[in-house]
Structure 1
Amino acid sequence: MKALIFSDKINDIKALVLKAGFDLVEKDPDIIISYGGDGTFFQSEYHYPEIPKLILKSSRICKLCFQLSNEELLTRVMKGDYKIKTIPKLEAQVGTKTLLALNDIIVHNANPRHAIRYQLSLDGQAISPNEIIGDGVIIATPLGSTGYYRSITDSYFELGLGIAFNNSTEQADHLVVAENRQIAITIFRGPVTVFADNQEKTIELAEGEIIKIQQVAKVAKLITF
Structure 2
Amino acid sequence: MKIRLVGKNLEDIRPLLALADFAEAGEGETPELVVTHGGDGALLGAARDYPQLPILPVRDARTAPLCPRHECRIQLEAFRAGRTRLLPLPMISGAVRDVTLHALNDVFLHNMDRSSALRYRVRINGELYANEVVGDGVGLASVHGSTAYYKSITHSIFRVGIGLAFSNSTEEVSHLVLSESSVIEIEVVRGPGILIADNSPVRPVVNEGEIVTLRQSDRTARIYGLDNFMCPACRALRHPGANPRPVGWTF
Paired residues in the alignment total 222
Secondary structure, in 3 states, of the residue corresponding to 1:72? helix
Q: Is 1:154 equivalent to 2:158 in the alignment?
A: no
Q: Matched residues in 2 for 1:209 and 1:66: separation? A: 51
Aligned-CA RMSD value:
1.9
Q: Secondary structure at the match of 1:127?
A: strand
**Residues of 2 paired with 1:157 and 1:120: CA distance?**
21
Match of 1:73 in 2: 75
Q: Distance in 2 between matches of 1:200 and 1:66?
A: 35
Alpha-carbon distance change, 189 to 66 in structure 1, aligned in 2, over 3 angstroms: farther
**Distance in 2 of aligned mates of 1:158 and 1:20:** 32
What do the CA deviations read for 1:120-177 (whole angstroms, capped 9, x no partner)? 111000113x311111112111111111111111111111111111111121111111
**Secondary structure class of the residue paired with 1:222:** strand
Match of 2:138 in 1: 137
| Alignment-derived partner of residue 2 in structure 2 | 2
Q: Does 1:104 find its partner at 2:106?
A: yes
Whole-angstrom CA distance in 1 between matches of 2:137 and 2:174:
14
**Equivalent in the alignment of 2:175:** 174
Residue deviations 1:166-208 (CA, integer Å, cap 9, x gap): 1111211111111110010011110100000011111110010
CA contact (8 A) 2:19 2:76 kept: no
Structure with more of its chain in helix, by fraction: 2
Q: Contact 1:18–1:24 at 8 Å: present in 2 too?
A: no
User: Which residue in 1 is equivalent to 2:15?
Assistant: 15
Residues 66 and 125 (structure 1), Cα distance of their counterparts in 2 relative to 1, 3 Å cut: farther
Q: Supply the distance in 1 between the matched residues of 2:70 and 2:138 (Cα, whole angstroms).
A: 37
Q: Does 1:45 align with 2:40?
A: no
Residues 14-67 of structure 1: CA distance to partner in whole angstroms, max 9, x if unpaired? Answer: 0011344322214411111111111111111222223111111114289xx995
Task: Describe the shift of the 1:118–1:67 C-alpha distance in structure 2 as closer, same or farther (beyond 3 A).
Answer: farther
Match of 2:241? none
| Partner SS for 2:77 | helix
Query: C-alpha distance in 2, partners of 1:192/1:29?
Result: 37
Q: Describe the SS at the equivalent of 2:70.
A: coil
Which letter does structure 1 place at the counterpart of 2:121?
Q
Structure 1 Cα separation of the partners of residues 206 and 185 of structure 2 = 13
Distance 1:8 1:123 in 2: 42
Q: 2-side partners of 1:115 and 1:36: how far apart?
A: 35
Greater Cα offset, 77-86 or 88-97:
77-86
- In structure 2, the CA distance between the partners of 1:66 and 1:35, relative to structure 1 (3 Å rule), is farther
Q: What's the counterpart of residue 220 of structure 2?
A: 219
Q: What amino acid sits opposite 1:126 in the alignment? A: L
Please list every run of 5 or more consecutive structure 1 residues that lacks an aligned counterpart in the other structure.
none
**Distance in structure 1 (CA, Å) of the matches to 2:71 and 2:65:** 15
Q: What letter matches 1:72 in structure 2? A: I
**2:47–2:103: 8 Å Cα contact kept in structure 1?**
no
Equivalent residues of 1:37, 1:61 under 8 A apart:
no
State percent identity of aligned pairs: 34
* Amino acid across the alignment from 1:151: S
Q: How many angstroms apart in 1 are the aligned matches of 2:36 and 2:89? A: 16
Structure 2: state its 5+ residue gaps: 228-251
* Alignment match, 1:29: 31
